[in-house]
Structure 1
Amino acid sequence: MSERPTIETREEVMFFDTDCGGVVHNLAYLRMIETCRTRLAALMGMDLRGMASTHLFPVLTRTEVDYKRPAKLGDWIVIRGRLAELSRARFICEFEMIRESDGTLLVTARQGLALVQMPEGRPARLPAEWLEQWG
């Protein structure tokens, strides 16, 4: 069994990420996590073009978010994502969001996902290779 996939992305807080006080709103954090998770999926063999051709997509089943400290306009945020758990039908990814300038932990998140075959919307088992490699 090899080490589970991890990835690090980086985002600058823009005007559209903030409220009138210049503080990042919760939806912006989720967008940044989505970007990190999409890149993590590519490391796992599910890049955007591949998903579009196979019509097999990871679908969120649960999101837990803990907001520790606020990010503000102009902050650079490092988002660290990792595959945390696997079963036959579901997997869990975990994320940390850290302010780059001072190393402050801003947000932690945990997301549950399942694979769905579209357009039928039929649940699919995780690839056997995933369980062999990271199970």
Structure 2
Amino acid sequence: MAVEATFSWPTRVYWEDTDAGGVVYHAQYLAFLERARTEWMRAQGYGQELLRLQHDLVFAVRAMQLDFLKPARLDDALEVSAELTECRRASAVFSQAIRRGDELLLTAQVRVAALDAGGFRPRPIPSPLLGELKALERPALERPR
């Protein structure tokens, strides 16, 4: 595997991400989280197009729990983290956070389901990928507070 278990992806808040007052729309945080998970997978050597073409596999969000703590604003430089906390045969759970410097703005738990790319039906994660993902698991009890 190419990267550490905890991955951080930088982003900046643009005008299109905000309301007229310059505060990030609540739904835009979902896009920031999605991009960080996608870049986490890419850093592991498994870009989404590769998974689709070579493994007939896509991941789709199954469930999400968000805790909005503080607002992000226009021009803020953010760090969006992604950490795999659980990997099962056909799903995975990511713990994610969005920070502005030392300030924690949002926490999230995101469960993704493994689906076949053609019919979007549940399917197992291919064994080699499952083994590599399991090696990166970092259960919640092991994470520093």
For normalisation by structure 1, the TM-score amounts to 0.86
* Residue 51 of structure 1: how far off its partner (Å): 2.3
Matches within 5 A, 1:8-87: 8-54=8-54, 55-87=56-88
1:4/1:117 CA distance change after superposition, 3 Å: farther
- Aligned counterparts of 1:34 and 1:88: Cα–Cα separation in 2: 21
1:52/1:118 CA distance change after superposition, 3 Å: closer
Specify the SS of the correspondent of 1:71: coil
Task: Flag structure 1 segments of 5+ consecutive residues without an equivalent.
Answer: none
Task: Give a deviation string over 1:41-74, Cα, whole Å, max 9, x none.
Answer: 2234431331231331011101111100001111
For normalisation by structure 2, the TM-score amounts to 0.81
- Aligned counterparts of 2:136 and 2:22: Cα–Cα separation in 1: 40
Give identity over the alignment, percent: 26
Task: Flag structure 2 segments of 5+ consecutive residues without an equivalent.
Answer: 138-145
- Aligned counterparts of 1:44 and 1:84: Cα–Cα separation in 2: 16
Query: Contact 2:48 / 2:58 at 8 angstroms: preserved in 1?
Result: no
Query: Contact 1:4 / 1:83 at 8 angstroms: preserved in 2?
Result: no
Specify the SS of the correspondent of 2:71: coil
Query: Contact 2:65 / 2:110 at 8 angstroms: preserved in 1?
Result: yes
Q: Is residue 2:109 matched to residue 1:110?
A: yes
Number of matched residues?
131
Task: Give a deviation string over 1:78-104, Cα, whole Å, max 9, x none.
Answer: 11111111122211011110002xx11
Query: Contact 1:4 / 1:84 at 8 angstroms: preserved in 2?
Result: no
Counterpart residue type for residue 133 of structure 1 = A
Higher strand share: 1
Q: Any runs of at least 4 consecutive aligned residues in structure 1 with deviations exceeding 6 A, and if so which?
A: none
Query: Contact 2:61 / 2:113 at 8 angstroms: preserved in 1?
Result: yes
Counterpart residue type for residue 5 of structure 1 = A
Tell me what 1:124 maps to: 123
- Aligned counterparts of 1:133 and 1:13: Cα–Cα separation in 2: 33
